[in-house]
Amino acid sequence: MTSSATGLCESAHLLASRAIGWLARHRRRGALPPGTTAELTDPDNLYKPLGETALTAAVVLREGVASAEDARAARELLAFAWDQLGEGDLLYERQLQHTLITDPLEFYGHFARAGYRHERLDGLLAHWASLTSARHVELLPNRCLAVANAARLAGVDHNTDWEALTAATWLGNTPEPWALDWMTAYCVTHTVFHLTDWGANPRALPPRIRDYLATWLPVWLDVWREVRDWDLVAELMVVDSCLPEPRCTASDYQLLASTQREDGLMPRDGHEVDDDPEQAYHDHHHPTVVAAMAGTLALSRNLGAQ
């Protein structure tokens, strides 16, 4: 292994390990309030972060490059999130009561990847996937890919036309790269995530998209690093690990790891982290999740290339 590859692995491992540890130590701050029902008056506040935690923990375990301690922490995170969702009962009730929502399936895909199953939800989702209504839910194009990938993981995929779904996205049209704005950048990252199943299959990206990203992803990274949007920088670095030939270097991971706090929290931007631990958790949970993903995938890809 070259010194550059060694440096990348060391920085990526440090980034992921600290982030996983922080998420595990603070997981109780992400607990759903007592009496939470499937109605979820504010789903983005605590429910969505549980899904993000489960996703990252499942990918950490899938890649198999974490230390024994980090793998144990990932299993604890998955078990915690599953318990908070009533071992799948909340997802089942939510899907049963609201036919056209897709988040129960999207969440369930993360757990199914790790071997968690819910028999009644399996049956409900198999029926749901057969409905014309379900196949034509009005969603942003990258979200359509999210649903398709979750259906694939849950085993209820019904001959998805991946080419058509990709063509409906901004990235799928390889447009003027200078037109990219903040929100579209997140759509770009998630288009890649869902097409490749969070880096599991880089070859699933169409060649023209691979070439486009190989050219312009480094430019976008420079832009968002300059404004210190660390959440988006980390997401774009995950995209890099989803390419057949990642371009990020050891210095890229060293910079991200140097931005991370020693306790594992990844700041979302250049502003001060709130002194209140609860506020800090809610403000910076997402970038820390992404940091764990970025470090894990980079380490896995780099070790696999040796």
In the chain, the number of structural domains is 1
Give the per-residue pLDDT at 297.
Answer: 98
What is the mean pLDDT of each successive set of 10 residues along the chain, which is 306 residues long?
A: 89 98 97 89 83 98 97 98 97 96 96 97 96 93 97 91 97 98 98 98 97 98 98 98 96 97 97 96 98 98 79
Give the per-residue pLDDT at 40.
Answer: 81
Domain span at 194? 3-304
**DSSP secondary structure string for all residues of the chain:** --HHHHHHHHHHHHHHHHHHHHHHHTGGGGPPPTT--TT-SSTTTTHHHHHHHHHHHHHHHHHT-S-HHHHHHHHHHHHHHHHHTGGGHHHHHHHHH-TT--HHHHHHHHHHHTT---HHHHHHHHHHHT-HHHHT----HHHHHHHHHHHHHHT------HHHHHHTSSGGG---GGG--HHHHHHHHHHHHHHTTTTT-GGGS-HHHHHHHHHHHHHHHHHHHHTT-HHHHHHHHHHHHTSSS----HHHHHHHHHHS-TTS---SSSSPPPSSHHHHHHHHHHHHHHHHHHHHHHHHHHHHT-
Give the per-residue pLDDT at 306.
Answer: 54
Give the per-residue pLDDT at 305.
Answer: 61
pTM: 0.96
